[in-house]
Amino acid sequence: MTKKIKEDIQQKRVALVHDFLLYPGGAEKVLVALMDLFPHAPIFTLLYDKEGMKPLEKHFRKRRIHTSFLQRLPRWCRRHTKWLLPLLPTAPEMFDLRDYDVVISSSGAWSKGIVTRVSTVHVAYIHSPMRFVWDENIRYARQRVKREPGIFLRALLSYLRVWDFEAAQRPDVLVANSRYTQSRIEKFYRRKAHVVYPPVTVTKSCDVHKKNYFLIVARLSEYKNVKLAVDVCTRLSLPLIVVGSGRMKKVLTKSAGPTVKILGWQSDEKLAQYYAGARAVLFPAEEDFGLVMAEALAHGTPVIAYGRGGACEIVQPGVTGELFFAQTQEVLADGIRRFLERERAGGYDVAAMRAKAAQFSASSFRATMMKIIDDAVAEEIRTRIL
């Protein structure tokens, strides 16, 4: 890279784009890491809920945040994003990004669909190709209407598949959050993607003694499948702490037994104590990566996870946790049984947990993302010069 190209890169105006800022989660932690890389970059997002994002308030307090036209809709409408589905493809396309030379989108669905100038470099960090229009479309439709989906819902999902494919062709560079996501991008979008694992804060020591409870850290929505773990721990009278918030909180509270405590989002310091003190973290969802699992290992806590998706890249059965292979109460209970047997036989390898978590360090994320962004900008400059 020539000196001139380096100088040009440093002078670029950068913007960040993120789907929604409604509840904190793994995707929002990735956004915070990108904000640290670009401390002066404004954020464009479809919807922003200050109250919901309060646990991460310190990161957004002094940042310029631009929202879409959806923010002007009534609050009840904004709280039920499923009713906004026909409008969601249009919202990111209407952001005015003409003033920026580099745009980095953090996309689980919509923000990769932004429209930029020809000379603007767009790097899209893909958390997941939209499950509800690709591999989970029929199950999603049945969950929403509680019966076999009709022609209008099927037509809408078909349109969204077309839009999603076309939107994924717009970024100059795609970055996947795991090898599993990389394979799904190649299958659904027919594009290659770099792999950059989300950043995890790796702790070197743990001064909290292990206690008797199991732990879940998740956004409380249907696809996180938290109810499965709540039902199993209720039936087996196992202590369970659930950290998180979302529209499923009332449902989970009703089904939770006396051994289950459902908390809201906790501060980073409090959450670290819960991680470190937990007997094990339960992860009953299929995720493309699963930042919670990596955070648990960083705190020396084993993970009992559903054995599909990113869990297979994070959890090593018998060493750093256990995998179960069907999302049923009986199979999860069997996974817990295997965990208890292993625990009685000597436990899990804390050194192996920390070594695995170290692969997802924040420093590695920063260095790899900056190289990808710099290379993309340098290529654009070279093309323009030639």
pLDDT tens-digit series, residues 182-200: 999 999 999 999 999 999 9
- CATH number, domain of 335, equals 3.40.50.2000
Q: Find all residues with CB under 8 Å of 178, minimum gap 6, and list them.
A: 195, 197, 288, 289, 309, 310, 313
| pLDDT over threshold 90, residue 142 | no
Task: State mean pLDDT over 152-176.
Answer: 94
Whether residue 52 sits in one domain with residue 190: yes
Q: In the predicted model, what is the mean pLDDT of residues 31-38?
A: 96
The CATH number linked to 51 is: 3.40.50
Instruction: Examine the domain organization and report whether 140 and 236 are in the same domain.
Output: no
- Asked if the model's pLDDT at residue 31 lies above 70, the reply is yes
Determine how many CB atoms are found less than 10 A away from the CB of residue 2. Answer: 11
Q: Looking at the 3D structure of the chain, how many domains does it have?
A: 2
What is the predicted pLDDT for the residue at 140?
A: 65
Q: What mean pLDDT do residues 329-340 have? A: 98
Domain-located, residue 150:
yes
Residue 80 pLDDT > 80: no
In-domain check, residue 115 = yes
Does residue 109 share a domain with residue 65?
Answer: yes
pTM over 0.85: yes
Which range, of 183-187, 281-285, 343-347, averages the lowest pLDDT?
343-347
Under the banding of pLDDT at 50, 70 and 90, the label for residue 267 is confident
Residue 111 has pLDDT above 60, yes or no: yes
148 and 8 in a single domain? The answer is yes
Confidence of residue 203 (pLDDT cuts 50, 70, 90): low
Residues 117 and 54 in one domain: yes
Domain contains 35? yes
> Which domain covers residue 249, as residue numbers?
214-358
In terms of domains, do 228 and 262 share one?
A: yes
